[in-house]
């Protein structure tokens, strides 16, 4: 086969020019489509954001997790419904939350690519598949199952208290973030896998683990934009990764341990978790009616890793943030002390969960902690595949990705006057029950946080110790040390919330008998 002479004489530069021209024409056509023809073209928002994902990339990667604040600015300029990228809308209307998250909802695959846990609940896109995958795990994290694990939770909480006492006697400063992350990690690994890392016993509560959790969540922003990059990183030998970033050693050991736990259960050698009253999460999955395709080691490992990340980081952030606000507001601490003095007359004995959870002011403090710590700060995008949604005079076509953010609801001054003020009393005032529907730290619907009952138990026990033991009428005191409000306020959205760069975290010192 021969080609015409004029074709065979095309030079290499001419080929490059032709390809570049074709690429330019394609990009221009794509931008014109996105701005003027797309079903989302009539929604308000910055034209640059509608034209390209590079707009979000700039705020999330270059500015390090600041796109959430740009979205907030968009709402201030354009109203309650904005187009934040070429294919996604964002809504800031608290009354729309139930409409968006209740019912049959899919996830946006582009947003689930941020987490390197293929096959996990969090990264499952389709509603029906998510429902099937969640079914065998839901009983494992039910309120009844958590009650059976009560001794395990109390044991770790008491372990935390004992370590803090050691710091008190030594006059040492405690980084609360590291301490709380150590405790929540020990609890979720013990509960889910039947083994604990005992980070509570490590020097300084193993601060490298907190650092690597932060690094991994920040990396998620790049994973979403460039999912192929994570695949390439996965090919790098582990020894090289650890050499480049020594703190990755704990994370790689964690992944290896989860993989080994999966293999032990699959081979029939793994034992159940006696403290929880039932087997590990992997036993629960294997005993379910899920098909064999759902039981691959890779999927089970991804599920385990995702559970630990969710169970450790968000609860630790909640506890660190809420304890800061308790200590920074003496009237709140005093009221809590008065209540705990009656509920916990012997400071050495922690009352049972069912008693503590009935204390009105402790419950109000816990609710205010949920509001001001927000849970996951990242927008949670959902797709109503078969439903047309109505909000603020706009009609959203079926199949459109739409997101909302917990912090914009929790800091809404129309719902919560003085939203930046930690004021538990708002939950004891008339109308507080109706206000609870706007607390969305655990989100809602079929994808509501799987571990919320476990988190609530950890939270109630630790907050009880803040006033009942760590700050008591007998003279024992926990005080903030070298910590400002900016060390706890959210400064970056790495899916999980983090304070300003350079912050040393929330630090305390303990004194007294």
Paired tokens of 287: 């005993």
Paired tokens of 315: 């609860």
2-32 burial by CB neighbour count: b if 16+ within 10 A, else e?
eeeeeeeeeeeeeeeeeeeeeeeeeeeeebe
| Nearest alpha carbon to residue 181 among 496, 398, 392 | 496
Length of the chain: 513
CB 422 within 8 A of CB 364: no
Cα separation, 382 vs 410, in Å, equals: 19
- Looking at 65-144, which runs of residues are DSSP E strands? 81-85, 88-91
CB 158 within 8 A of CB 348: no
DSSP string, 155-179: HHHHHHHHHHHHHHHHT--EEHHHH
| Nearest alpha carbon to residue 183 among 353, 313, 321 | 313
CB 481 within 8 A of CB 173: yes
- Kindly give the pairing relationship between strand 507-511 and strand 477-480: antiparallel
DSSP string, 216-284: HHHHHHHHHH-HHHHHHHTTS-HHHHHHH-TTHHHHHHHHHHHHHHHHHHHTT----BGGGTB--HHHH
Please count the other Cβ atoms lying within 10 Å of the Cβ belonging to residue 220: 21
Is 27 marked within a binding site? no
CB 273 within 8 A of CB 279: yes
Please count the other Cβ atoms lying within 10 Å of the Cβ belonging to residue 70: 17
Cα separation, 92 vs 82, in Å, equals: 9
Paired tokens of 255: 């992944």
Q: Which residues are annotated as a binding site?
A: 449
Q: Which residues are annotated as a binding site for heme?
A: 449
């Amino acid at each position: 086969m021969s080609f015409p002479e004029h074709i065979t004489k095309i030079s290499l530069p001419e080929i490059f020019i032709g390809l570049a021209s074709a690429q330019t024409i394609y990009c221009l056509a794509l931008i014109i489509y996105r701005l003027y023809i797309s079903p989302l073209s009539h929604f308000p928002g910055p034209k640059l954001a509608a034209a390209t994902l590079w707009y979000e990339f700039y705020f999330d990667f270059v500015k390090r997790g600041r796109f959430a604040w740009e979205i907030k600015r968009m709402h201030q300029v354009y109203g309650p419904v904005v187009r934040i990228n070429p294919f996604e809308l964002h809504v800031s209307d608290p009354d729309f939350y139930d409409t968006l998250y209740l019912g049959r909802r899919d996830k946006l695959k582009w947003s689930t690519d941020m987490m390197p846990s293929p096959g996990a609940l969090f990264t499952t896109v389709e509603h029906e598949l998510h429902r099937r995958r969640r079914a065998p795990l839901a009983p494992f994290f039910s309120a009844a199952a958590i009650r059976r694990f009560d001794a395990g939770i109390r044991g770790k909480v008491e372990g935390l208290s004992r370590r803090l006492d050691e710091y008190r006697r030594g006059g040492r400063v405690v980084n609360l973030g590291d301490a709380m992350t150590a405790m929540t990690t020990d609890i979720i690994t013990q509960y889910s896998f039947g083994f604990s890392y005992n980070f509570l016993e490590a020097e300084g509560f193993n601060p490298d683990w907190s650092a690597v959790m932060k690094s991994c969540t920040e990396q998620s922003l790049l994973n979403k934009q460039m999912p192929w990059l994570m695949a390439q990183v996965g090919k790098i030998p582990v020894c090289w990764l650890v050499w480049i970033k020594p703190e990755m050693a704990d994370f790689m050991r964690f992944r290896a341990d989860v993989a080994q736990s999966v293999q032990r259960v699959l081979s029939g050698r793994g034992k159940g978790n006696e403290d929880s009253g039932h087997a590990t999460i992997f036993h629960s999955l294997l005993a379910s009616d899920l098909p064999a395709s759902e039981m691959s080691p890779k999927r089970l490992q991804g599920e385990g890793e995702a559970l630990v990340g969710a169970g450790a980081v968000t609860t630790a952030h909640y506890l660190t943030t809420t304890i800061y606000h308790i200590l920074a507001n003496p009237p709140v601490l005093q009221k809590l002390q008065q209540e705990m003095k009656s509920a916990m007359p012997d400071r050495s004995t922690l009352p049972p969960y069912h008693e503590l959870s009935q204390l009105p002011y402790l419950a109000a403090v816990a609710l205010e902690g949920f509001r001001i710590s927000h849970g996951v700060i990242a927008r949670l995008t959902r797709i109503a595949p078969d439903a047309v949604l109505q909000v603020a005079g706009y009609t959203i076509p079926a199949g459109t990705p739409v997101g909302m953010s917990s912090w914009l609801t929790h800091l809404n001054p129309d719902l919560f006057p003085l939203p930046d003020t930690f004021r538990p009393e708002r939950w004891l005032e008339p109308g507080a029950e109706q206000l609870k529907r706007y607390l969305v730290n655990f989100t809602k619907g079929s994808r509501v946080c799987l571990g919320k009952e476990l988190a609530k138990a950890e939270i109630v026990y630790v907050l009880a110790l803040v006033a009942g033991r760590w700050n008591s009428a007998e003279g024992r005191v926990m005080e903030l040390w070298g910590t400002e409000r900016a060390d706890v306020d959210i400064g970056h959205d790495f899916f999980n919330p983090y304070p300003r760069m350079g912050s040393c975290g929330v630090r305390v010192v303990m004194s007294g008998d």
